[in-house]
Amino acid sequence: MIKEILKILENDARTTTRQISVMTGVPAAEVTKAIKQAEKDQTILKYKTIINWEKVEEEQVWALIEVKITPQKDVGFDAIAEHIYRFPQTRSVYLVSGTYDLVIIVASKTMHEIASFVSEKLAPIEGVEGTITHPVLKRYKEDGEILEGGDGAKRQPVIL
């Protein structure tokens, strides 16, 4: 039952308890209780709205930053990752395999602010060996939501 409720809320956090009750066949009181418990035990961390800021002329600059780090004794990558995810510019932090250890997604008002973040906050962290910054040129989809142009391909088919 809880997995069904969570999937519904993940898809649309504005779904009411009554709507979830109808969709699942679970009484509304039980749905409410399950949601409150999930919030309490931090299964539900946050209710989120995805905004296409370009539509309201409040453009943001995004970047994906790969970070090579030296794991710390007894804590591995966790302490450095925690240091990084506490910065307000940091939207997401992932431990990955490959040449780099962490992938960070950051957002700011200007590319200059992102450059300052990398040079003044990220690079000086003890254990950070190097970074590669990839500016995001266009966002097509975020958290499962197509930001614009989801009506299908706009290119003309090639006829052979």
Question: Where residue 85 sits, what CATH number does that domain have?
Answer: 3.30.70.920
Looking at residue 92, its pLDDT comes to 95
* Cβ neighbours of 122 (radius 10 Å): 23
Domain-embedded: residue 126: yes
Looking at residue 153, its pLDDT comes to 47
- pLDDT-derived band at 145 (thresholds 50, 70, 90) equals confident
Q: Which domain holds residue 33?
A: 2-40
Of 134, 143, 126, the residue nearest 48 (C-alpha): 143
pTM of the predicted protein model: 0.71
Domain-embedded: residue 150: no
Residue 157 has pLDDT above 60, yes or no: no
Regarding whether 129 and 82 lie in a shared domain, the answer is yes
Residue 160 has pLDDT above 90, yes or no: no
Residue 149 has pLDDT above 80, yes or no: no
Task: Tell me the three state secondary structure of residue 58.
Answer: coil
> Which pLDDT tens digit goes with each residue over 48-68?
887 777 777 677 899 999 999
Domain-embedded: residue 74: yes
Regarding whether 89 and 15 lie in a shared domain, the answer is no
Residue 6 backbone phi and psi in degrees, to 5: -65, -40
Of 149, 159, 146, 157, the residue nearest 50 (C-alpha): 146
Number of structural domains the chain divides into: 2
Regarding whether 58 and 33 lie in a shared domain, the answer is no
Domain-embedded: residue 156: no
Domain-embedded: residue 145: no
